């Protein structure tokens, strides 16, 4: 034994500890490796793809390579030179033959409304490559827009390889013809409002879930096992039916001719049906219902671990029930409150089926817009940018939570 001790003695203790720890860490890593691989392909890669898409600017460089090259030297003041016009004409003709002109037209139309018409009609009318030196006059002759500086700055700003256009647009900003960041025109500046609405609904639903879920979780954690199991089944019941069915059930219940209005009218409480759905009220109602279990479960699991002995101890030490609750019980449930709120909030701000079905036009959340841009207009750039902004704000919140949770962390203490 002494020999073994001496044999390692020349290696510093710290290093030996590190070596021993490393083996343990490798083993731990081995255990989570399959999950990490899975997450890499199903989460990290798509996420990275999404973030890349929000900055990727491939359309114009690919469709109009000569114009992009010719505009490299242009300083953005006045109109570009004759060579640029010639390059544009050549690009338009090539693209039209290849059938890719619409791709560039769509991208440029984001920047200037009507660009698509300009480009496509130029393509149609440009029968042959203009003779050298006449490209400028020919193009302006076909479409006067080519005589405007903005048409050219649009191409230059979209000439890749990356752009801040989508990300700026996602927060209602844009670049003017001089490249400075300015507020987007009012008809396009909608996303800030949508983000604010999304977070307002998120906070509201989280608060409602907490208020409704806390007493239920407390009851669950403190009832005798048999009855708490029964109650737990009721809590989990919503998970047994699909989200769509549950949301549609709310429509049946809350609509003008629905159960609630029908009963109230029958009872004579109201004369006109109340507007309970296709507005913010319906959104809060349906989303709170759907998300309540996500609040109750983490709260329950934390409360389960809080021994009733603490409340008894507090009472025996002279604390009235309210004081004991506020000073002893509540602080110990904070990890559960934090986890539940984070979970509900993050799920809530990602919801779009429920608001789409039971909300009005002014209740649509950011996900509806993301879905709209991916499935309806196929504007991946803007959809990704909105997603990235949502992700970023969620991350910030999670970090704040992490900071708070870590600050409160205790090393446990005996549970009994």
Site for another protein contains 227 (CB under 8 A):
no
Q: Which is nearer to another protein, 74 or 325 (CB)?
A: 325
Distance CA 14, CA 293 (A): 47
Between residue 296 and residue 315, which ones bind another protein under the rule CB under 8 A? 307, 309-310, 312-315
The DSSP string of 187-203 is TT--HHHHHHHHHHHHH
Site for another protein contains 171 (CB under 8 A):
no
User: Contacting another protein (CB under 8 A), which of 25, 321, 398, 402?
Assistant: 321
* φ, ψ at 306 (rounded to 5°): -90, 115
User: Contacting another protein (CB under 8 A), which of 316, 392, 400, 402?
Assistant: 316
Q: Which is nearer to another protein, 133 or 308 (CB)?
A: 308
Q: Which is nearer to another protein, 235 or 324 (CB)?
A: 324
Distance CA 124, CA 193 (A): 40
Q: Closest distance between another protein and the C-beta of residue 316, in Å?
A: 4
Q: Closest distance between another protein and the C-beta of residue 334, in Å?
A: 8
Q: Which is nearer to another protein, 30 or 412 (CB)?
A: 412
Q: Closest distance between another protein and the C-beta of residue 404, in Å?
A: 14
- Judging by beta carbons within 10 Å of its beta carbon (0-12, 13-18, 19+), is residue 111 exposed, middle or buried? buried
User: Contacting another protein (CB under 8 A), which of 31, 35, 361, 414?
Assistant: 414
C-alpha distances in Å from residue 273, one per residue of 250, 268, 270, 300: 16, 11, 7, 38
Between residue 258 and residue 297, which ones bind another protein under the rule CB under 8 A? none
User: Contacting another protein (CB under 8 A), which of 30, 161, 226, 413?
Assistant: 413
User: Contacting another protein (CB under 8 A), which of 317, 361, 378, 406?
Assistant: 317
Q: Which is nearer to another protein, 40 or 309 (CB)?
A: 309
Q: Closest distance between another protein and the C-beta of residue 337, in Å?
A: 13
Site for another protein contains 99 (CB under 8 A):
no
Q: Which is nearer to another protein, 131 or 317 (CB)?
A: 317
C-alpha distances in Å from residue 128, one per residue of 52, 117, 132, 145, 217: 38, 19, 12, 20, 76
Query: How many residues sit close enough to another protein to count as binding (CB under 8 A)?
Result: 27
Q: Which is nearer to another protein, 109 or 333 (CB)?
A: 333
Q: Closest distance between another protein and the C-beta of residue 216, in Å?
A: 23
* CB-CB contact of 270 with 256 (8 Å): no
Q: Closest distance between another protein and the C-beta of residue 48, in Å?
A: 40
Q: Which stretch binds another protein (CB under 8 A): 64-72, 153-161, 282-290, 407-415?
A: 407-415
User: Contacting another protein (CB under 8 A), which of 86, 324, 349, 389?
Assistant: 324
Site for another protein contains 408 (CB under 8 A):
yes
Give the dihedral sign, CA 330/284/301/404: negative
* CB-CB contact of 365 with 198 (8 Å): yes
Q: Closest distance between another protein and the C-beta of residue 410, in Å?
A: 5
Q: Which residues 6+ apart lie within 8 Å of 75 measured at CB? A: none
Q: Closest distance between another protein and the C-beta of residue 332, in Å?
A: 6
Q: Closest distance between another protein and the C-beta of residue 327, in Å?
A: 8
Q: Which is nearer to another protein, 170 or 306 (CB)?
A: 306
Tokens in use for 404? Answer: 């708070």
The DSSP string of 332-400 is HHHHHHHHHHHHHHHHHHT--HHHHHHS-GGG--HHHHHHIIIIIS--HHHHHHHHHHHHHHHHHHHHH
> Residue 76: helix, strand or coil by DSSP?
coil
Tokens in use for 241? Answer: 């039916």
User: Contacting another protein (CB under 8 A), which of 75, 225, 375, 416?
Assistant: 416
Between residue 326 and residue 365, which ones bind another protein under the rule CB under 8 A? 327-328, 331-332
* φ, ψ at 71 (rounded to 5°): -80, -5
Between residue 31 and residue 90, which ones bind another protein under the rule CB under 8 A? none
Query: Given the DSSP bridges, would you call strands 173-175 and 181-183 parallel, antiparallel or unpaired?
Result: antiparallel
C-alpha distances in Å from residue 367, one per residue of 279, 286, 373: 17, 17, 10
What are the residues binding another protein (CB under 8 A)? 307, 309-310, 312-321, 323-324, 327-328, 331-332, 408, 410-416
């Amino acid at each position: 034994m002494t020999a073994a001790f001496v044999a390692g003695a020349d290696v510093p203790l710290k290093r030996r500890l590190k070596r021993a720890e490393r083996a343990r860490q490798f083993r731990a890593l081995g255990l989570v490796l399959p999950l990490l691989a899975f997450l890499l392909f199903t989460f990290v890669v798509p996420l990275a793809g999404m973030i890349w898409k929000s900055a990727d600017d491939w359309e114009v460089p690919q469709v109009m390579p000569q114009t992009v090259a010719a505009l490299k030297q242009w300083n953005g003041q006045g109109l570009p030179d004759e060579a640029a016009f010639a390059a544009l004409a050549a690009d338009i003709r090539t693209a039209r033959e290849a059938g890719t002109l619409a791709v560039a037209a769509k991208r440029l139309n984001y920047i200037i409304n009507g660009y698509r018409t300009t480009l496509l009609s130029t393509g149609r009318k440009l029968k042959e490559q203009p003779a050298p030196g006449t490209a400028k006059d020919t193009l302006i002759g076909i479409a006067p827009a080519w005589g405007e500086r903005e048409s050219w700055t649009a191409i230059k700003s979209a000439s890749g390889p990356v752009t801040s256009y989508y990300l700026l647009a996602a927060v209602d900003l844009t670049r003017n013809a001089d490249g400075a960041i300015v507020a987007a025109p009012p008809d396009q500046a909608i996303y800030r409002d949508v983000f604010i609405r999304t977070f307002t609904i998120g906070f509201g639903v989280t608060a409602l879930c907490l208020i409704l879920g806390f007493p239920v979780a407390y009851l669950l954690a403190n009832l005798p096992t048999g009855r708490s199991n029964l109650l737990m089944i009721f809590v989990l019941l919503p998970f047994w039916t699909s989200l769509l069915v549950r949301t549609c059930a709310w429509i049946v219940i809350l609509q003008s001719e629905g159960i609630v209005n029908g009963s109230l009218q029958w009872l004579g409480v109201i004369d006109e049906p109340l507007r309970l759905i296709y507005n913010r009220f319906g959104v809060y109602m349906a989303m709170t219902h759907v998300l309540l279990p996500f609040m109750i479960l983490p709260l329950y699991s934390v409360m389960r671990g809080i021994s009733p002995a603490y409340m008894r101890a507090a009472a025996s030490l002279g604390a009235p029930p309210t004081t004991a609750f506020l000073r002893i019980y509540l602080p110990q449930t904070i990890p559960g409150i934090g986890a539940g709120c984070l979970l509900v909030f993050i799920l809530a701000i990602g919801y779009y089926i429920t608001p789409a079905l039971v909300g009005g036009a002014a209740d649509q959340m950011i996900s509806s817009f993301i879905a709209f841009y991916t499935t309806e207009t196929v504007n991946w750039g803007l959809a990704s940018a909105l997603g990235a902004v949502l992700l970023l704000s969620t991350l910030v919140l999670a970090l704040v939570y992490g900071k708070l949770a870590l600050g409160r962390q205790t090393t446990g203490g005996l549970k009994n």
